[in-house]
Amino acid sequence: MREEPDEWTHRTVETNGIRLHCVVAGEGPLVVLLHGFPEFWYSWRHQIVPLARRGFRVVAPDLRGYNDSDKPEGVDAYRISTIVEDVAGLIRAFGEERASIVGHDWGGAVAYAFAMLHPEMTAKLAVLNAPHPAPFAQALFGGDLAQLQKSWYMFFFQLPDAPEALLAADNFRFLKQFAFRQSRRGAFPPKDLALYLEALSKPGALTGAVN
């Protein structure tokens, strides 16, 4: 279903005790692209080649729990500090000491955490569609009812089994309606939507993503 440019390659990289599947392109200063929920590296398909052609080495991993990357068991395996170390190990695996970090949505939260925990490894930071954790925490735990209502899913995801059951029911109907269809019209054509759902259907992927 997916036609891919010759300019990128697929690699599996060992980092922090797991294996991450990555798409890699270009040569030059390292740029790491971190996808959001419920997506995978494919979210960056329109940015990978243009960045590579501008003289960057681009790495777009499937984060742990997603698509073709390892999916360790247990919620504790998905602490944000652990995922930060995945990214740090990824940078080292490509022979670099630092990189520009770009994150979207959940990947944006990881990107903020990475810059805080590893400022020495952060050449530049770019975050899309994710709030800075300080004002977000203040809104979430400071009595902002509007933000609490918008963040209902974060609390729902703490329940065992129920989130996976809801998300997978009726061929991912909930995700199709709320996670994808509410985006800009045309952002997720049927062939792309099928790829996202295929990635979530892989063994352990839905639980990994929720974790």
Report residue 125: phi and psi, to 5°.
-130, 130
What is the CATH code of the structural domain delimited by 8-130?
Answer: 3.40.50.1820
Cα dist from 125 to 32, 34, 100, whole Å: 10, 11, 6
According to the model, what pLDDT value does residue 208 have?
97
3-state helix, strand, coil in the chain (%, to 5): 50, 20, 35
Q: What integer pLDDT is reported at residue 188 of this predicted model?
A: 80
Q: What is the mean pLDDT of residues 163-179?
A: 88
CB atoms within 10 A of CB 51: 20
177 band by pLDDT with thresholds 50, 70 and 90: confident
Q: What is the pLDDT of residue 182?
A: 62
- The strands making up 18-25's β-sheet, listed across from edge to edge, are 8-15, 18-25, 57-61, 30-34, 99-104, 122-128
pLDDT over 70 at 80, yes or no: yes
Average pLDDT score over the chain: 93
20 forms bridges with which residues in the sheet?
A: 13
- Close Cβ partners of 16 (under 8 Å, ≥ 6 residues apart): 82, 85, 86, 88, 89
Contact 19, 69 (CB under 8 A): yes
| pLDDT value of position 1 | 46
Residue type, 124: K
Return the domain boundaries, the chain. 8-130
* Amino acid letter for position 88: A
DSSP-assigned states of every residue in 61-114: EPPTTSTTS---SSGGGG-HHHHHHHHHHHHHHTT-S-EEEEEETHHHHHHHHH
pLDDT score at 41: 98
pLDDT for residue 60: 98
Q: Read off the pLDDT band of 142 (50, 70, 90).
A: confident
